[in-house]
Structures are given as structure tokens and as C-alpha cells.
Structure 1
Amino acid sequence: MTKETVLVTGGTGFIAQHCIISLLKQGYRVRTTVRSAQRENEVRQNLQQGGVEPGENLTFVVADLMADQGWDVATQGCTYVLHGASPTPSGEQVTEADWINPAIEGNLRVLRAARDAGVKRVVLTSAFGAVGVGHSSDYPRPFKETDWTNLDSDLWPYQRSKTLSERAAWAFIEKEGRGLELSAINPVAVLGPVLGADYSHSTRIIKEMLEGQPGCPDINSCFVDVRDVADLHVIAMKHPAAKGERFLASSGHSLRLVEVAHTLKTSLGDAARCVSTIELTDESVRAAADKNPVMIGMVKLLGVDMNVTAEKAMSVLGWQPRTPQQAIIATAQSLIELGLISHS
């Protein structure tokens, strides 16, 4: 018996491709959206890199978050939708509206199409950026699913877009969902095996360390392996207890960047020869940010406790992620294997 068809939006995305791999391995038929039909071959090659040969079990529909066209075709006949397509840091966004409007409108467009097509449940890929940003140092940690990012604080447009678009999705379900179910997954910094040259922005942390970034700022983060994020999406898609709930995806206590550097050093030997374990002072990072505006966001994170708990996903859904160290090493090994590291 053929399993149900699942729509995965944004098939060129890092998390989306690992979701497609997880679904295909479990026997689902998968449909995915791309903004350009020319990227189908690239997606198929990346999936092969990830160990699956999709063949006819994967089909493509051209659809853009900013246009209605294609979404009725994409959702038709699907039992579930995994919706991860959203603007991510690419350097092309100029104004805050360039981030926020596509995220909100895209979510509502997909939810509307899913509802009208009789989809049972949508699993939304949100982010830690919608949970734990903009809070004072005395705000309770670790962050959990009942926490929301403080929209009154000085936020990056990306984090604001993730927060507003997730809130818009829940409001839509409440007012206009007409029985459509929603779950949200909120990953922390996503690492894990890279499938091609298009990967998560968190992966750049590992790439830059391997390429000889001169030291580690006093920043900490939780990490999670993309394969575990994908598995959590598929569990949340089916599990009765996931209806109407959000789940943080994190694989353990937050790590300081210097701890990440030490993990690379101890695990990779000569391949990590350029990794620096020097701890940079906050003053030196601030001074560097004065000259390089790209680093201003880093200054906001100095010394901020970013710890979260994924106890809910583990206890309610039985999710069992890899360790942060396994995610870090898998990221590095895949970058090296694919020739994506350039040493000066």
C-alpha cells in the first residue's frame, strides 16, 4: 500500500532536503516546491549525497512564497505539509520588510492552501529566534516552548520575521483553520551533514573555524543535528500529542564557541590544524565590530546565556537526538569531504 503524500516546501533548503530524505526512507511519496524548475537536478543530486535515490517518489512544483500561483497544485492530495520555506540570511534583504513580509505572507499562503486542500496537519519550521531572543540576563533559563522572543527589544530582522510569522500561523489556525492542525518546530543552531554548497547559516560557524578564524568570541549556543531536526518534523507530523504544540529542537546544553573549537581540534587531527582555540576578549570583538558592521550582531550575543531545553520533545514525542559533538563533527567531515573548506 502506498503511503501518503507529504508536501515539503522550499526543496532547496538544508532542513527541507533532510526532511525529504527522512520521509523517503520511511516510504512516503514526497512533493516539494522550488522557485525555479532549473534547481530540480541540484536537489536530486543533494538527496543522492544524503543516501537516497528518490526516483518517481519525489515530484516538483514551481511555487513562490510571494505569489498564489502553484500552491493549490502543490497541496492537492497531500495528507501533511512540512513548511520550512522562509527567507534566511542571504545578504539580499535590504529592509526589515524584505524579511518579515515574505515570512508572514508565505506562512499564510501555505496554510490557506493546505486548509483548502483538506490537509490534516502542517508542521511549521520556526526557529529558536522566535523563542529566546531579546531577554534580560535575569530572565529564567533554560528557554522553553512557552517563551517567546521579545519583540520590543533590538532584534535582527531574521529573528523578528521568525517570531511574527510563527505568531501569524497560530493566529490563522485559531481564527480560520477550520480543523487544520498545526505543530511548530523551533531548532537552535542547525549543524549536521552538508549535502551541497547551499547549507544552513549555522554551518558557517564550523566552516570559518576550519578555515582559520582568528579566535573565539565569548558566545554560546545550543546545537542540533539536521537529521534529528528532520526526524522531529516527521514525528510531529504524525504524533497525536504534537497537535497545537511547539517543540524546541536542541541536542543538549549550550556550548561556548571555544568548546566547539576544542571539539574540532580533538576529533579531526590535522584537518583542524587551522582551528584557533584562542578566546577573544569582548573588547577586541567590539573593536572589530566598529570596523566591520557584519560583526555588530555578534556584539549583541557576547556573554548572553542561550541555553534551552528540549525536554518536551523528548518526553512527549520520544525524540532522541545525537549529541552536539556528533553534530559538530558530522558538519566538519561533510564540509571537508565535499571540498568546501579553503585554507589560506
Structure 2
Amino acid sequence: MAAFVLGGTMAKGMVVVTGASGFVGKYVLADLITAGYRVRGTVRDLTKSDAVREAVSSITGQSVRSELELVQADLLDDANWSELLSGADAVMHVATTVLAIEPKDPDLVVRPAVEGTERVLRFSAAAGVKRIIMTSSLATIGYGLGHTSGKRVYTEADFTRLEALEHPWAYCIGKTRAERAAWSFAQANDLHLTTIHPGAILGPASDPDTSVSLGLVVNLLSGATQAVINTGFAIVDVRDVSAMHLAALEDPASVGERYIAADGYTRFEEVAAILRRHYPDCPITDRVLPDEVLLAMLRSGGSSSQIINDIGNEKHYDGAKGRALLGRPYISPEEAVLSAARSVIELCMVQPTQAA
């Protein structure tokens, strides 16, 4: 049975996972159960409980109905947090709010990120839970640091400077403020915090209730994307993100550390090219939108204005530290893309005429 260091001794534990109905949350639940932990997950809507259990069961390959406890809790409400953290040995704070388009009201994203993190840590400390693994983001590492053109490599030592962020981005603001608040609270309250920083999370969906990032693959396969943008991003497979959470939990050396969960740099046009090779009968675009056209659209209030911060520069993230924690190479970006494609087709989220 898996174990982790708790107060200097080895002990099997019960882990609370926030955001149990999310793309990453389901994999984290599955990995913890497979590793032998007792697990309690949070959901905002208990009517999703059966669907979450079915999705987690599909990942583990066996029913988890009797092993997975789900409790209703909201990041913006104190109700139930004391009860659900009772008896817990560790918390994995995975829950987050991600929107496909930049909201007119940033608080739709910022408040759950910041207040939710503060609430989870405050109730954890009150319940005597010391060990916290928090899902952060590359958005808290590579922005507001004066990088507007060319290539730059970022490491865990870099921290986004919101005061220098040229173009407002609610997700970046929320995640950065939340992480800074988490480190401050952890230090003041002797919590054993580790943060995991994924890039764009792809890989196989366990059910149709999945992530914004998988929309990239769905929209390319369906032809909804008529041209890709002339930039790129760091891709990570959801299975690696989940495995890194478990690895951090079981490695006492990870306390107080940040870990990038991604490696390399993949252009949007490369993602489209991968899908065209394997799904030649799908209407996958080969057009690339010129920067000047995209910038004009974004500055006039385009719905994806959050990506304006990545136009004209290449953000490469050094995944060596995270890879060492993982203890193996990352799943390749190509496999992350293709496994995402296979899953959305199997789940009937897109209907290609022929699959390779």
C-alpha cells in the first residue's frame, strides 16, 4: 500500500481532493485510490456524484463506488469544509475555474481562485491538516517578466509579476494571487505546501464533462477552428499531472517546492498537423492566422484576448525538476494530443468520418 510521510512517520492516509468533477481531479482520485489511499472528493453539485464515480472507475478499470466519498462544498462558501476535512491527513487542492473566453467580470475567475484557496488552507489548518498539494499553473511563472519577443526558458524560480502584466488576464491574475496567498499562509501556519504547475492539459478524457483545453482538439477535428494562431504552448498529459501530485505527496523532499509539469514547446500549427496526419478525413485547418490580423482582432475586444500575452514570443518551460519528481519521461505532446483525440471521438464529442 502506498504511504506518505506525515509528522515524521510513515502512515497510510486519507486525502481530500477539491474539484473532484474536473478533468485533473478525476485522474487524481483514480491514482490515489489505486495507490491505496482513502479518498474524499469535493463537488459543488452532488447530482454529479454518479457521473464522477463512473468516470473514475473508467480510469482505474474497476468500480470505485464503495471507495470514493463525495461531499458537497463550494470554494466561496464556508459550509461543510470543517466536516469534510475532519480526519484528513492531506489535501490536494485541484479545483479551479477556467473559462474558454476572457470574462467581462474577472471576479468570476479571480474570486474562486483566491478566496477558494484561502478557504481551503484556513479550514485545513483549523482541522490540523498540514500536508497540502496545490495545482497551480504555468500562468504563475512566465508572465509580466519583460518577455515580449523571442525565446525565453522559464524555471520554477520565476514568478509572474502581475503589476507588469501588459494585458489583463483573469486566469493568470487569479492563479498568481492564489499561489502567493498559499505560500504566505503556509509559512505563517507551518503548512507543508507543494505546488504543481501544468501547461495546457491534454490526454484522454474520462467522460464528456471535461476541460477547456480539450476544446482545442475537439474544435480542430470538427472544423470549428478555421485558422490556428501563430504561437505555441507547453503541453502536458493529464496522466502526468495526476502522477506528479501523487509523487509529491509521497516525497517529503517536495515540501516547500514548486514543480513545472510540462516540457518543450509545441506550436498550434504542429497540433493541427499531428491531427491531420492521423485523421486525414477530418476538416482540420492548415491555415495560420497572421499576427497582425490576430492582434487587430484581440485589441478590438476579441473573445480570446487572454492569448495576446503570448503573441510574438516563445515561452519554453524547463521541466527537468518535475520530470525528476515523476521519475520517468513525460508522455510526449504528440501522444497527449492523439490520446485526447481518440477519447473525444469515443465519447462522441466529435464525429470524424474516419479515424486512423
Provide TM-score, normalisation by structure 2: 0.89
2:230 alignment partner AA: D
The answer on whether the counterparts of 2:14 and 2:40 sit within 8 Å (CA) in structure 1 is yes
Answer whether contact 1:21 1:52 (CA < 8 A) is retained: no
Q: Deviations over 1:101-126 (max 9, x none)?
A: 22111111111222222224110001
Match of 1:244 among 235, 241, 256: 256
Distance (Å, rounded) in 2 between the aligned partners of 1:314 and 1:150: 26
Q: Which residue, 70, 79, 89 being the options, matches 1:60?
A: 70
Q: Which moved more, 1:275-284 or 1:311-320?
A: 311-320
* Superposition deviation, residue 291 in structure 1: 6.9
Match of 1:42 among 44, 47, 51: 51
CA contact (8 A) 1:215 1:280 kept: yes
Cα RMSD (Å): 2.3
Moved more, 254-263 or 198-207: 198-207
The SS at the match of 1:248 is strand
Aligned partners of 1:96, 1:54: CA distance in 2, in Å? 37
Displacement of 1:55 = 2.1
CA contact (8 A) 1:125 1:184 kept: yes
The residue type paired with residue 270 of structure 2 is: E
Partner of 2:24: 15
- Kept in 2, the 8 Å contact 1:241–1:317? The answer is no
The superposition leaves residues 243-301 of structure 1 with CA deviations (integer Å, 9 ceiling, x where unpaired) of 00010100x3101111111111223343xx21122222223323544677213333442
Change (3 A) 1:182 1:325: same
Aligned ranges for residues 1-344 of structure 1 at < 5 Å? 3-50=12-59, 51-89=61-99, 94-135=104-145, 136-137=147-148, 141-152=152-163, 153=165, 154-175=167-188, 177=189, 179-212=190-223, 213-250=225-262, 252-270=263-281, 273-289=282-298, 293-316=302-325, 318-341=327-350
Q: Is the 8 A contact 1:182 1:244 kept in 2?
A: yes
Quote how far apart the aligned CAs of 1:37 are.
Answer: 1.4
**Which has the larger share of strand?**
2
Question: Is residue 136–residue 195 contact of structure 2 (8 Å, CA) maintained in 1?
Answer: yes
CA distance in 2, matches of 1:28, 1:99: 31
Count of equivalent residues:
339
After superposition, the C-alpha distances for 1:39-75 in whole angstroms (9 at most, x for unaligned) are: 1012112223323411221101111111111111111
CA distance in 2, matches of 1:52, 1:116: 35
Distance in 1, matches of 2:222 and 2:301, equals 19
Q: Between the two proteins, what is the percent identity of the paired residues?
A: 33
Distance 1:138 1:210, change over 3 A: closer
CA contact (8 A) 1:232 1:319 kept: no
User: What SS is found at the alignment partner of 2:115?
Assistant: helix
- Structure-1-length-normalised TM-score: 0.92
Q: Which amino acid aligns with 2:173?
A: R
Q: Tell me, which stretches of 5 or more residues in structure 1 are unaligned?
A: none
Gaps of 5+ in 2: 3-11
- Is the partner of 2:304 in helix, strand or coil? helix
